[in-house]
Structure 1
Amino acid sequence: MAKTDAQLADGQAATAARRRMFLVGIACALAGAGLWGVSGACAQHLFSHYGITPMFATAVRSLVATLFFFGVLVARRRYMLELIWKSEPRVKLFFLVFGVALFIDQFAYSMTIAFTNAGTATVLQMLSTVFVMLFTCVMGRHLPKGNEFVGLICAFAATVLIATQGDLGTLVLPAAGLFWGLLNAVCVAIYVLTPRAAGLFDRFGSFAATSVGMLVTCVCSGIAYAIQLAMGAGAPEAVASMDAFGWLVLIGGLAFLGTFVSFGLYLRGVAFVG
């Protein structure tokens, strides 16, 4: 009997621990999503007041975030870098997909803001949950549950209202803004699903996996901005004319809070909650 009571106590303790982890995951995901919204407001301010390009913003935010991610990783979990480096080619391919999705997500979000505004871009990005749900339903070979189906209808209805302002015969939202917003949502779904499906979080932890993904993003955005500069479209004069407040918004708001802290919290929440 004593053994049964001990097993029951252990089971209750494990259930309580899982519940705590679930709640912590929700809190992390909400905080990360909120800070991503802050990054949208920062990007809109930079685009409208300083005239920098979305690609420059993406390159800077990914560079700064990568430096912070790897600074913490080297200081606390350096062994993870060796494990990732020695991992099989299949795992490295998943890291590449993860990082490219992060890159397109950041750039597409900035482009959506440039064509619309931060609020619209953030709402369109939330359609990523629809793509995640549809993917999991297809992979699980089942239809959406009742509450999931209601959420799906509401998400599409909200998108239609944003795009038409209630007049179904007119597209108020610029087509380019809608395109970049939907692309952003698809890429969010990819970078949320890829590390979990590939076991990157389970094997390396969310922080180490996000660090490597952000490094791939940094390389992609750096190459893309260099190409933009070579084509004469990088607006270097706008960068040169930025004042101290502009750099504070770019580095502190967009890069540190809106990228490093935001992605770190959000993907940690995804690792806990699913």
Structure 2
Amino acid sequence: RAATAAVLFLALVLATRREALLSLLGSRAARRTLMLFGVGLYLSQITYAISIEMTNAGTATVLQATCTVFVMLFTCLRARRLPRPTDFAGLVAALAAAALIATQGDWGVIVLPAAGLAWSIANALSETLYIMAPQRLYGRWDRVTIIGVGMVVSGVAAAIVWLAAAAASLSPAPGAASLVPELDAVGWLALIGGVGVLGTFAAFGLFLYGVSLVGSVRGSLLGVAEPVGAMVIAAVWLGTPFSAADWGGLVLMAAMIALVSLSGSREKR
């Protein structure tokens, strides 16, 4: 997924924003920030996958949403101010909605072994890194170019780790999955098209562009709406019925979006 997104973003930037790319890469400070941004993107993807393996999808999703707490905390510390009441209320609503949808109201599904908790916290912190790191670049350079370079760095980081694992012969034991998945043509299409193009190039690209417009706090809060998207797609595409927990999470998420929008409109006045 990282390699697919990197290739697509590189092609997009080279075809449409070559001058902006040269300007961006000409700044030493920008290059350092872009490295942090790209590494954060890569770490967020790999730590989320590992946290799911160590716990389960519901637990990992709930703990991933805590990145909004870290984003708000670091933003307030940097600005030396308390959270805005509407942003804080939106944070509470977002976390409650994510938890309700991910657990379906059954808190017994939350599994928190020490290793799983550590990887989940690492996932939330890596998301905080890639959300906040490029914020100061957005007002000076082209947003799409910044996102594209970050994705390329992420793809290179993923390739380095993969090649290092292969060189060190860290292949799993016989019978387990290998470093290269054994997929048929449909499987590779789903992996590249579904996960790489739609799930990374399009989804990450749109999310990061939105964050560049609304800021790190509101962007991270709105990003927590991901479980709602999954819920709606499951209902429309797979025919999965809405549960009471889904409806409750949807209402809370709508409240969060309203609170974040209210905060943004007041700030512009």
1:121 aligns with 2:64: no
- Aligned identity (percent) is 44
Alpha-carbon spacing, 1:85–1:117, altered in 2? closer, same or farther (3 Å): same
Alpha-carbon spacing, 1:112–1:172, altered in 2? closer, same or farther (3 Å): closer
Gaps of 5+ in 1: 1-60
- How much does 1:136 deviate? 1.3
Amino acid at match of 2:117: L
Alpha-carbon spacing, 1:248–1:117, altered in 2? closer, same or farther (3 Å): farther
Alpha-carbon spacing, 1:230–1:218, altered in 2? closer, same or farther (3 Å): same
Query: Map of 1:30-45 to 2, 5 A cutoff?
Result: none
1:99 aligns with 2:38: yes
**Equivalent residues of 2:20, 2:145 under 8 A apart:** yes
Matching residue of 1:241: 182
Query: Map of 1:208-219 to 2, 5 A cutoff?
Result: 208-219=145-156
TM-score, reference length from structure 2: 0.68
> C-alpha separation between the residues in 2 aligned to 1:132 and 1:166?
26
Matching residue of 2:208: 267
Amino acid at match of 1:247: W
**Equivalent residues of 1:127, 1:155 under 8 A apart:** no
- How much does 1:150 deviate? 4.6
Amino acid at match of 1:218: G
1:204 is paired with a residue of what secondary structure? coil
1:215 is paired with a residue of what secondary structure? helix
- How much does 1:100 deviate? 1.0
Matching residue of 1:203: 140
Relative to total residues, which structure has the larger helix share, 1 or 2? 1
2:183 is paired with a residue of what secondary structure? coil
**Equivalent residues of 1:130, 1:155 under 8 A apart:** no
- Higher RCO (C-alpha 8 Å, min separation 6): 1
Q: Which moved more, 1:143-152 or 1:171-180?
A: 143-152
Matching residue of 2:258: none
Matching residue of 1:14: none
RMSD between superposed Cα atoms in Å = 3.1
> C-alpha separation between the residues in 2 aligned to 1:78 and 1:167?
51
> C-alpha separation between the residues in 2 aligned to 1:154 and 1:176?
28
Matching residue of 2:162: 225
Query: Map of 1:48-63 to 2, 5 A cutoff?
Result: 61-63=1-3
Aligned length: 211
- How much does 1:171 deviate? 7.6
> C-alpha separation between the residues in 1 aligned to 2:32 and 2:179?
37
> C-alpha separation between the residues in 2 aligned to 1:146 and 1:206?
29
Name which of 82, 91, 97 aligns with 1:143: 82
Matching residue of 1:51: none
> C-alpha separation between the residues in 2 aligned to 1:136 and 1:265?
22
Amino acid at match of 2:43: I
Name which of 81, 90, 106 aligns with 2:21: 81
- Select the structure of larger CA radius of gyration: 1
Gaps of 5+ in 2: 216-269
Alpha-carbon spacing, 1:152–1:240, altered in 2? closer, same or farther (3 Å): closer
Deviations 1:211-252 (A, max 9, x none): 111111111111111121123334574735211222122101
Alpha-carbon spacing, 1:166–1:263, altered in 2? closer, same or farther (3 Å): closer
Matching residue of 1:253: 194
Matching residue of 1:42: none
Matching residue of 1:176: 115
Alpha-carbon spacing, 1:175–1:249, altered in 2? closer, same or farther (3 Å): farther
